[in-house]
Structure 1
């Protein structure tokens, strides 16, 4: 997939943000909704699916392997699945665009089917290592040929029957866990993943909802997740809640712009995803949960956020797995806090769409923020609520979260901030800038 032409954008401070908004459907849940529906026999219906480029890459890949996937005029997606074990040989390479989640989870699916699939991606995705998924899938019998450094393009030659394994995650990664569980779906016997540090559990919740035999228990080394193979998944009607990672941008925006008050509707409150809310509340943010409810097995609520002065904290490292994607916007909140915030324990940021530690340090320093870089995070000297100097040119490094985070930073900058390329925002939040305009009216 060739990257679209760069789209630079200049933003500057504006008045209070006010209004009610909904954020796009949760990206993690959207990916899994399509994959699991494609493995069920019969028609599943999905409402609220995130229609960003990453999720559309998953839809295209599942179509290429035999599923029928269509979006109705009513916005509801209908998926006719092929059944576990029924994936077909794709005729061409699977283009994953910028989506690491699609790549790693689909590698797991292919690993236990008697098919061969080649995975390609854009320049950003092709720079990201896949070794952590290659290792367990190879133990199950899949043959994986990758580019140097365990990168894309790579080819997965699946095996059937695959070998069930017991695998302890060496790093906290929901993607690696999910890849092994998905390979286990079509593997005779019981496949186990041991998770020393909890990570987002959307796969476990949704697989159970589709009828897979999956258990979670506490063991001496952490959670033991067991899946019984040769599963039969039943079609479902799914409602995808709002993405807490996308909501994070507006939580920070309302917190740092004086006079702001917003309500974000229908946000996923899965406890493995609410680390940013916990961190912002420690900093003094005014975030209230309203109308808590359960939708499709996930906790959901509306969030009311009002401007509040933020204070620096040492971010508890144990929050890292539940907010790994939100660190860039947390760094922006820290830039406006009173005092020096230290956020560590996030090694994983080095291998995201960009090296998010180095990229955010460079961007914030360009905007006039003093930072100190560690191997696993940043220390940030806050402005105490004062406007940042701004007058900066920053590079997004083809990373949607960097682009959106620096757009929010610009709302509290004295001089304009120009982001070299905001086109990658379409991978996860196509309406981000329209929402920003509407809240600022």
Structure 2
């Protein structure tokens, strides 16, 4: 599953107006969690709209390796027969997580409270990402870890059953760390508690409750307190996965910056812990309209119509960071076309994603003629006031799907084509990205 294929260079040519209706893949966060929880339920769960990118397929493969029966039907619906909480089997080989940090951290949490040993491996990008943030709380619960230097992959975890319930206050805002502890708590006697001083995406809480776990959320002076009662019995579910707001973000930015554009992105998840990019773009003056707002499987969903608009530079509210951390690269692109300066800070987490997204986006934007200042926790970007950026450079995606897609969007309104050294990582989260770009009127040349 690791990204080892030959690089796929691509050139993005300046585009006329982008026009049309598109549907983005299913939400990646919800897709991961639906497979994991269905694999722990007793009976058959059905998942419709699952993101079939490499990251989610890595999760499916890992759950199969630990005993779950997971298959995709000819109708596109995934059917999962789970093993029950506490029923995970010893995997016979290392679990290859490819490029997926979410899969890795959440599955480490699952394994931590089961009496099995699992080794996690991944590609070069994932192997450079720190795992200490989940090792620390899960060690308190009794799991034993043998990581590579720096707390990285390859990593072996020996689970403990029964594990020890803990109350853990998150030192950094991280839905992955919160989820890892809650998932470990599923098979831990007693009540496991997580306190998050800064609220993060709440898909795990919603889905755990939907599958029947005894879970409560309350506000305390210290922050959100999430409590889960262990030795849970999960019930199979039918899930319809909404469109991924992180994938929709690229089209919201693209239609905003390319003159004459009018695009409808259908079925976008509008969970308030995930839609910070919509709020930030609206603060910049983006023309984004919600159509047919509805609720699907406990998650708010809407179709989003976005039309070209004159964007203005803003100071992005820091409190938006947890609800749009993956969308900052796309936001940086929007800022490059705004009038005046956009200051986007409070995003330290970008330094430890698939790449150092602050440094890599800085280099890519500067190479294509954008003026900016790098900060430890973000960028200050001077926009063109709606004019095309110079473009013309070849940028390094650094095995990071969001870098490749963000710079592809930037190339749509550039005076000269923008070249990306390797678009292959886009398959991890958005296999249809370039096909949709063509369908809307963009022009892509493969080298």
TM-score by length of 2: 0.98
Which residue number corresponds to residue 289 of structure 1? 290
Per-residue CA deviation, residues 54-105 of structure 1 (Å, 9 max, x unaligned), is: 0000000000000000000000000000000000000000000000000000
What is the match of residue 220 of structure 1?
A: 221
2:282 and 2:392 map into 1 onto residues whose CA distance is 30
CA distance in 2, matches of 1:325, 1:51: 19
Cα shift at 1:3 = 1.7
Structure 1 distance, partners of 2:432, 2:56, is 15
In the alignment, the residues of structure 1 paired with residue 173 and residue 434 of structure 2 have an alpha-carbon distance, to the nearest angstrom, of 32
User: What's 1:3 paired with?
Assistant: 4
Name segments (4+ residues, structure 1) moved above 3 Å: none
CA distance in 1, matches of 2:388, 2:20: 23
Q: What is the aligned partner in structure 1 of residue 415 from structure 2?
A: 414
State the 1:12 CA deviation. 1.5
SS of the residue 1:287 aligns to: strand
The answer to whether the aligner puts 1:271 opposite 2:297 as a matched pair is no
**Counterpart-to-counterpart distance in 2, 1:435 and 1:195:** 37
Aligned to 1:191: 192
Instruction: State the alpha-carbon separation in 1 of the partners of residues 430 and 227 from structure 2.
Output: 34
Residue in 2 aligned with 1:235? 236
In 1, are the aligned partners of 2:3 and 2:99 still within 8 Å (CA)? Answer: no
TM-score, with structure 1 as normaliser: 1.00
The answer to whether residue 232 in structure 2 is matched with residue 262 in structure 1 is no
SS in 1 for 2:17: coil
Structure 1 distance, partners of 2:191, 2:399, is: 40
SS in 2 for 1:41: coil
Shift in Å, 1:109: 0.2
The aligned residue for residue 308 of structure 1 is: 309
User: Which structure 2 residues correspond to residues 139-178 of structure 1 after superposition, within 5 A?
Assistant: 139-178=140-179
Distance in 1 (alpha carbons) for counterparts of 2:3 and 2:37? 28
- What CA RMSD, in Å, does the superposition of the two structures yield over aligned residues? 0.5
Tell me the equivalent position of 2:71: 70
Separation in structure 2 between the aligned mates of residue 111 and residue 102 of structure 1, nearest angstrom:
14
Corresponding residue for residue 324 of structure 1: 325
Matched residue, 2:135: 134
Give the 3-state SS of the residue equivalent to 2:342 in structure 1.
strand
Q: Report what 1:430 is aligned to.
A: 431
Instruction: Return the offset for 1:2.
Output: 5.0
Gaps of 5+ in 2: 443-447
The aligned counterpart of 1:440 is 441
The Cα shift of 1:323 comes to 0.1
User: Structure 1: how far apart are the matches of 2:111 and 2:274?
Assistant: 27
CA distance in 2, matches of 1:27, 1:152: 22
SS of the residue corresponding to residue 273 of structure 1 reads coil
Aligned to 1:200: 201
> Which whole-Å CA distance do the structure 2 matches of 1:326 and 1:3 have between them?
25
- Partner residue in 2 for 1:336: 337
Rounded to whole Å, the distance in 1 between the matches of 2:252 and 2:356 is: 24
Partner of 1:394: 395
Secondary structure, aligned partner of 1:175: helix
* Distance apart, 1:152 and its partner CA: 0.1
The equivalent residue for 1:48 is 49
